[in-house]
Structure 1
Amino acid sequence: MYPQAFIDYLVHFHGDRDYFECHEVLEEFWKEKERGARDQFWVGFIQIAVSFYHHRRGNFPGAQRTLEKAISILEDERVQVHSLGIDDRKLLSTLKERLSDIKARNPYKSLNIPISDHALMQACLKECSLREVIWGSDSDLTNQYLLNKHTLRDRSDVIMERERQKEKKRK
């Protein structure tokens, strides 16, 4: 009923709190459609994860900028957000509270996206169980890989793909 990429996003968001991975899985899914046919509400969810990644690392300007964009998109796409089994009103209210925290330079704290569909929640809990992560657990603020994944991950596949695209353009 829901795209597996969205379930994966939610499991990373609420289970291991790997916001970088949230961004990766949902962006890959979003890019499966051609440029004019891509659904903007996915960008809103991607930007929530990016904002939280920045906030957790203490990058308040980056967190603020991306969360403002996410809120703007999700306000415009409320019907689609609701159709994804998310309580759109509560989500937007919660995100606006988080934006105030970011503007006040308050430290990061974990937050849950309000899921309104029981079937979606059950699918996420099942996936958490398979991955042996606990839904709703707080972010491990001592895990340097989780906090700095953008600089510590293996990027060889990304670099190879960029080179392949450059070569393709040259031909």
Structure 2
Amino acid sequence: MYPSAYIHYLTEFHVERDYFECHEILEEYWKKDPPQDRKRYWVGFIQLAVALYHQRRNNFIGAKRLIANSLRILEEEKAAVESLGLDHKELINLLKQTDQKIAAHSPYESIMLPLTDQALIKACQKQGKSKSGQQNDFLTHKHRLRDRTEVLQAREKAKMLRKKSRD
């Protein structure tokens, strides 16, 4: 029916409002395809989640840039958006409204993506039954609290390789 990563993303998006986790889930799924086969619309959904994450943290500059990118991508991906059980027109209107709120530095408010497929809604509800829906500082500052050892090691290795190639 739909990729399980997408259902997991929607559950985190609508129940926990853990936008950082939404980003992690879809980015991992998106990267499973070879670079030339990666679907652009997943980037639109990833950037939407990260925009809301930034808005919640009052990083309106980052939120504005990401919501604008998300909107641009998802506007162009009508068939893909609709194949994912969403109302494309309502989604675009929602993103435009969210973009305006971010531009006005309005405080974060959660949004509901306009799901149209009842089977998808039921799948998300089933997965979300154990979710609490509580917002806390962990969700707001998750990127600072996670273990980034592997990322930092990979960056250091790339830095050393670049230095070695220049020498």
Q: Which runs of 4+ in 1 moved over 6 A?
A: 163-170
CA deviations on 1:16-75 (whole Å, 9 max, x unpaired) are 111001000100000111111110000000000010000000000100000000000001
Where structure 2 has 5 or more consecutive residues not aligned to the other structure, the ranges are none
Question: Residue 154 in 1 paired to residue 152 in 2?
Answer: no
Tell me how far apart the structure 1 counterparts of residues 87 and 47 of structure 2 sit (CA, whole Å). Answer: 18
Tell me how far apart the structure 1 counterparts of residues 101 and 73 of structure 2 sit (CA, whole Å). Answer: 20
Q: How does 1:4-153 map to 2 (within 5 A)?
A: 4-129=4-129, 132-133=130-131, 137=133, 140=135, 143-153=136-146
Tell me how far apart the structure 1 counterparts of residues 36 and 160 of structure 2 sit (CA, whole Å). Answer: 25
Distance 1:87 1:154, change over 3 A: same
Tell me how far apart the structure 1 counterparts of residues 54 and 159 of structure 2 sit (CA, whole Å). Answer: 30
SS of equivalent residue, structure 1 residue 111 = coil
AA aligned opposite 2:106: N
AA aligned opposite 1:4: S
CA deviations on 1:114-151 (whole Å, 9 max, x unpaired) are 1000000000000001xx115xx5x62xx111101111
- TM (norm. structure 1) is 0.88
What's the CA shift for 1:159?
3.9
- TM (norm. structure 2) is 0.90
Where structure 1 has 5 or more consecutive residues not aligned to the other structure, the ranges are none
What's the CA shift for 1:156?
2.9
Distance 1:167 1:127, change over 3 A: farther
Larger Rg: 2
AA aligned opposite 1:93: N
CA deviations on 1:69-97 (whole Å, 9 max, x unpaired) are 00000011011000000111101101100
AA aligned opposite 1:146: L
What's the CA shift for 1:166?
7.8
SS of equivalent residue, structure 2 residue 72 = helix
Distance 1:119 1:167, change over 3 A: farther
Tell me how far apart the structure 1 counterparts of residues 104 and 161 of structure 2 sit (CA, whole Å). Answer: 47
Distance 1:14 1:160, change over 3 A: same
Tell me how far apart the structure 1 counterparts of residues 126 and 154 of structure 2 sit (CA, whole Å). Answer: 33
